[in-house]
């Protein structure tokens, strides 16, 4: 390719990047609030499992080149946790049977967030046992369930997506509670349409 062609291609790329950055600067960033996964199951997952679950959620809320585009403002998790705890405790004082879904809108509005997300691991357990009689060998029984609570300002409604998995069979890494939990996280992220919510800033 000739030097002249390379030069004009470079100029074109600079112009496109500059235009995109200028448009991003004029756009009001989408404000996203989320808290670390809440553990309610009987057994505490390994650190690696918790990190993997958090990574799944981070990827769903991620916007490429956000440091340049400034399309999304991710609110500090510590502040999100503090406000959610305060809102939840106040709600429980007036209604002891209140659910997390009921406070999602209040939480989001208090933070002035466009999207608010609260993942909860409600079930997590596994144990191995030996089979006797004709079923000899090592077997595994495991279960996991995740509930994803949240609020989407564009719809004006809170949402709750839940998914659980159970495994009972021969010992296998694919049947571990860790793997089941990751599958549950993928499912609730898809059912809630988190990626679609985040992509709306482009419209």
pLDDT (mean) for 102-110: 95
**Helix (H) or strand (E) segment spanning residue 134:** none
Please report which confidence band the pLDDT of residue 115 belongs to, taking 50, 70 and 90 as the band edges.
very high
Q: What's the CATH number where 57 sits?
A: 3.40.50
Q: Which pLDDT value is given to residue 97?
A: 85
Q: Which pLDDT value is given to residue 182?
A: 97
The answer to whether position 107 is within a domain reads yes
The answer to whether position 49 is within a domain reads yes
* Residue range 46-103, pLDDT digits in tens: 999 999 999 999 999 998 888 887 889 999 999 999 999 999 999 989 888 888 999 9
Contact by Cβ (8 Å): 200, 63: no
Q: Which pLDDT value is given to residue 157?
A: 92
Q: Which pLDDT value is given to residue 27?
A: 63
> Into how many domains does the chain fold?
1
Q: Which pLDDT value is given to residue 122?
A: 96
The answer to whether position 9 is within a domain reads no
The answer to whether position 6 is within a domain reads no
Please report which confidence band the pLDDT of residue 133 belongs to, taking 50, 70 and 90 as the band edges.
low
Terminal C-alpha separation, the chain: 36
Q: What is the C-alpha separation between 142 and 176, in angstroms, rounded?
A: 6
Please report which confidence band the pLDDT of residue 9 belongs to, taking 50, 70 and 90 as the band edges.
low
Q: What's CA 147's distance to the chain center, in Å? A: 10
* Residue range 139-166, pLDDT digits in tens: 899 999 999 999 999 999 999 999 999 9
Q: Which pLDDT value is given to residue 188?
A: 98
The answer to whether position 67 is within a domain reads yes
Q: At what angle do helices 177-192 and 47-61 cross, to 10 degrees?
A: 20
Pick 70 or 6 by higher pLDDT: 70
Q: What is the C-alpha separation between 22 and 18, in angstroms, rounded?
A: 6
Q: What is the C-alpha separation between 11 and 97, in angstroms, rounded?
A: 62
Q: What is the C-alpha separation between 173 and 180, in angstroms, rounded?
A: 10
Give the range of the structural domain holding residue 115, as residue numbers without chain letter.
29-202
The answer to whether position 12 is within a domain reads no
Q: Which pLDDT value is given to residue 65?
A: 85
What CA–CA distances, in Å, run from 77 to 13, 116, 143, 197? Answer: 36, 11, 28, 19
How many CA atoms lie within 13 Å of 34's alpha carbon, on the beta-carbon side?
21
Q: What is the C-alpha separation between 11 and 159, in angstroms, rounded?
A: 46
The answer to whether position 23 is within a domain reads no
Kindly state the DSSP code that residue 73 receives in the 8-state scheme: E
Q: 152 CB contacts (<8 Å, ≥6 apart)?
A: 114, 115, 159, 197
Q: At what angle do helices 100-111 and 77-94 cross, to 10 degrees?
A: 130
Residue indicated by tokens 């985040």 = 198
* Residue range 18-52, pLDDT digits in tens: 544 444 445 689 999 999 999 997 789 999 999 99
The answer to whether position 121 is within a domain reads yes
């Amino acid at each position: 390719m000739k030097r002249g062609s390379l030069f004009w291609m470079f100029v074109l790329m600079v112009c496109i990047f500059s235009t995109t950055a200028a448009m991003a600067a004029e756009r009001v960033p989408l404000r996203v609030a989320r808290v670390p996964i809440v553990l309610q199951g009987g057994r505490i997952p390994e650190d690696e499992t918790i990190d993997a679950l958090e990574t799944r959620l981070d990827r769903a809320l991620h916007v490429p080149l956000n440091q340049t585009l400034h399309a999304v403002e991710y609110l500090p998790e510590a502040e999100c946790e503090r406000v959610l705890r305060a809102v939840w405790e106040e709600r429980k004082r007036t209604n002891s049977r209140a659910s997390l879904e009921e406070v999602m809108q209040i939480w989001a509005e208090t933070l002035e967030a466009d999207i608010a997300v609260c993942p909860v691991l409600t079930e997590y357990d596994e144990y191995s046992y030996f089979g006797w009689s004709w079923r000899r060998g090592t077997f595994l029984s495991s279960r996991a369930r995740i509930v994803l609570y949240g609020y989407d300002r564009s719809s004006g409604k809170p949402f709750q997506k839940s998914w659980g998995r159970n495994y009972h069979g021969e010992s296998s890494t694919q049947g571990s509670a860790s793997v089941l939990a990751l599958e549950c996280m993928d499912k609730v992220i898809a059912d809630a349409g988190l990626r679609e919510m985040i992509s709306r800033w482009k419209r």
